[in-house]
Structure 1
Amino acid sequence: MDTLATPLSFLVNTLISLYTLAVLLRFVLQKLRADYYNPLSQLVIRATDPVMKPLHRVMPAWRGFDLAAILLMLVLQAINILLLALIQSRLGVLDPIQLPFYAALKIIHLSIMLFIFTILIQVIVSWLSPGNPNPVLGAIWQLNRPLLQPVRRLMPDLGGIDLSPMLVIIFLFFLNLLLQGIMAGLPLAMYG
């Protein structure tokens, strides 16, 4: 059973985390008021609508926050943690009261990784194909703008070289290491 536990844990964690990332992306794109008709927005909306539409009927937005998306992300990650604990025969280690805390930590981790990944995509595309009018890239630029813009304002003019993505990625990795340090002290550190 141990030979099956690791690949099964990987599969469960990956699939649930990918869907959680889709919900997270929907939440962030809504918050940023990204173009609804952008192909990336449409992909995310179509992937998450089967679950989000019924949730929106029960739990409407509050002050611009999509509470249904937040609840869905927490529930998905709680299910993820429970399934991983079950697969790895560690269900006894799990404290049900701390489950929402673990789920929130995983969502923060996924958020950090989402921004690292999208900033890397933005940087690579800007090197390989500067000025590319691809609408998906427009959504990625819009997604990363709140993180990159404040750093760009603080950076001195370096003759057309933008180091803000590198600085933001360094900061995101720093945050991720802090988060891993917190998670390492928890009994379910393996789920980070």
Structure 2
Amino acid sequence: MEQDPITLIIRTLGELFIFVLLMRFLLQLAKADYYNPISQSIVKLTQVPLTPLQRILPKAGRMDLSPLVLALVVKLGMIALLIVIYKGSIQVDIISLVLRSIAGLANSILSIYFWATLGSVIISWVAPGSYHPAPQLISQLTEPLFKLAQKVIPPLGGLDLSPILIFLAIQIIQGQLAPFAL
């Protein structure tokens, strides 16, 4: 698809809303501080569209899957709208569309973790132990990922190489998802 203003606006607004929904899901998954001002902003931004879904969808244990489901619906809608605008009709295999949307969401989640890991590394050099809400949230988001990577590569005398493993894993997975993601 060409990069004209309509495509740019639809993709930007759709991806921005998907980002906020995925952040809500990932912060919940990482058990980040709910009372952090940034977390509260994300909850307030997404509460209105998520309320109907939260009534319909059951929780999976303590996990609320409604942000993930709404992100998938928004991604599907965004792709379908762009196809209709540029091809005139939506004669696309729905299963293919759903799979591409899932791959696109997985790619977005990996991108969030990539940038959060990079941010965490930079914060650990510049302002370790910062009390600002943003570094705390980034740290809480990436901490489970770092712990998982440190099981494979333990810290070597104060030098933590786990971010390198995380970056490599993200790049490999994104490389595999690239042909399917839109």
Q: TM-score, normalised by structure 2?
A: 0.88
- Tell me if structure 2 keeps the 8 A contact 1:109–1:176: yes
Give the Å deviation of 1:18. 1.5
- Tell me if structure 2 keeps the 8 A contact 1:151–1:168: yes
Name the structure 1 match of 2:51. 53
- Please list every run of at least 4 consecutive aligned residues from structure 1 whose deviation after the TM superposition is greater than 4 angstroms: 90-93
Mapping for residues 86-165 of structure 1, pairs under 5 Å: 86-89=84-87, 91=89, 94-165=92-163
Give the Å deviation of 1:109. 0.8
CA distance in 1, matches of 2:91, 2:119: 38
CA distance in 1, matches of 2:115, 2:155: 26
SS of the aligned residue for 1:161 comes to coil
CA distance in 2, matches of 1:148, 1:157: 10
**Identity %, equivalent residues:** 31
Aligned length: 182
User: CA offsets per residue over residues 92-151 of structure 1, 9 Å max, x none?
Assistant: 562223322221111101111110011111112222222212222122111112211122
CA distance in 2, matches of 1:156, 1:49: 39
Give the Å deviation of 1:179. 0.5
Q: Which runs of 5+ in 1 are unaligned?
A: 184-190
CA distance in 1, matches of 2:91, 2:165: 38
Change (3 A) 1:173 1:60: same
Q: What residue identity is the alignment partner of 1:113? A: S
User: CA offsets per residue over residues 43-78 of structure 1, 9 Å max, x none?
Assistant: 210110110122212323232332322321111010
Name the structure 2 match of 1:180. 178
Q: What residue identity is the alignment partner of 1:123? A: V
Change (3 A) 1:161 1:7: farther
CA distance in 2, matches of 1:13, 1:75: 14
CA distance in 2, matches of 1:6, 1:139: 35
CA distance in 1, matches of 2:114, 2:132: 20
Name the structure 2 match of 1:78. 76
Give the Å deviation of 1:156. 4.4
Change (3 A) 1:12 1:131: same
Q: Please, what is the CA RMSD of the aligned residues?
A: 2.1
Name the structure 2 match of 1:62. 60
Change (3 A) 1:92 1:36: closer
Name the structure 2 match of 1:8. 6
Q: Which piece of structure 1 moves more, 12-21 or 96-105?
A: 96-105
CA distance in 1, matches of 2:99, 2:11: 17
